[in-house]
A and B are shown apart, each in its own frame.
Chain A
């Protein structure tokens, strides 16, 4: 913290000195003076390799030279950039993980060709990525991801504004798929007589729910017919259950046979 304060104070001092020198040459009539700070991409082409703070220049006996250079806004810009960069390094916490590899440098333009604009500086932010939502992993690195694989966002109408209800994203887990194992919940019994017409077996939840209703005449759709024979009653009910499996989904098999 103390180190950060030193840098802030140094930057402020450097700018203050710059204001004095540049302002002395062309002091405006107003009581308030301003010194412009030129900062565009062309400024970076005329840089100063090692801009010094006034304290450092004084310690080296270069105060007069510093006074002269500080009149150049580009010198002060270089100094400010350098101090800010050092401040950023000082303020950055100690890395807990190894540094990521540096990105490859862009190819140089042919000699004499037009100079490309400077690239946008990369901001080293807190490490986070989409795989964090998958949890798992170590140190918050998240679950598995695969090279070249990224989440997809689906929108049912890409010309419409984002929709809270229907838009969704899909993430690959990067893990081998596996079926669940074990046994399923089931209900088992045999008829000991005829059900009363209108009595029902209800399967499923919510909008997938269906009532399979006992009927004296119908053995189709959501009805199962009452026949007077226990085994046939079971066959009819099971057939109705299987007819509606596509809606109830949860029912895998309905079988006729000995009681489990």
Chain B
């Protein structure tokens, strides 16, 4: 059986861990490789530098 990630390449972090007995199941981590895609939009949060919760400039 195979468990495969949704995105190409290797995901940072331990997204797959298990504690099943090694003699029963010890899956091999098969690395991915890929080229990033091109988004059509990008979004940013953390918009306010110092005045978090301040009054609006254009109420």
Q: Which residues from chain A sit less than 8 Å from chain B, CB to CB?
A: 133-134, 153, 161-173, 175-196, 199-205, 214, 234, 237-238, 241, 248-257, 259-260
Q: Which of A191, A196, A203, A237 contacts B16 (CB 8 A)?
A: A203
How far apart are B23's CB and chain A's nearest CB, in angstroms?
7
29 pairs, CB–CB < 8 Å, chain A vs chain B: A162-B56, A164-B47, A168-B47, A169-B44, A170-B43, A173-B40, A176-B38, A176-B40, A183-B32, A184-B4, A184-B6, A184-B7, A184-B8, A184-B9, A184-B32, A187-B28, A188-B3, A188-B28, A199-B19, A202-B17, A237-B1, A238-B1, A250-B5, A251-B5, A251-B6, A254-B1, A256-B1, A257-B1, A259-B2
Residues of chain B within 8 A (CB-CB) of A184 are 4-9, 32, 34
A169, A184, A238, A251 — which one has the most chain B CB atoms within 10 A of its CB? A184
B53 touches A252 (CB 8 A): no
How far apart are A58's CB and chain B's nearest CB, in angstroms?
50
- State whether A186 and B53 are in contact (beta carbons under 8 Å apart), knowing that A201-B18, A251-B6, A254-B4 are contacts in the complex: no
How far apart are A109's CB and chain B's nearest CB, in angstroms?
30
B56 touches A161 (CB 8 A): yes
Task: Place the interface of chain B in its size category.
Answer: 35 or more
- State whether A183 and B24 are in contact (beta carbons under 8 Å apart), knowing that A177-B38, A204-B15 are contacts in the complex: no
Q: Which of B15, B20, B33 contacts A214 (CB 8 A)?
A: B20
A186 touches B18 (CB 8 A): no
Residues of chain B within 8 A (CB-CB) of A187 are 2-3, 16, 27-30
B4 touches A252 (CB 8 A): yes
Q: Which residues from chain B sit less than 8 Å from chain A, CB to CB?
A: 1-11, 13-21, 23-48, 51-56
A257 to B2, CA, bound (A): 7
Q: Which of A186, A191, A195 contacts B3 (CB 8 A)?
A: A186
How far apart are B51's CB and chain A's nearest CB, in angstroms?
8
Residues of chain A within 8 A (CB-CB) of B21 are 193, 195-196, 199
Residues of chain A within 8 A (CB-CB) of B52 are 162-164
B40 touches A172 (CB 8 A): yes
A164 touches B53 (CB 8 A): yes
A200 to B21, CA, bound (A): 10
| Chain A residue at minimal CB-CB distance from B10 | A185
A196 to B25, CA, bound (A): 11
A177 to B39, CA, bound (A): 5
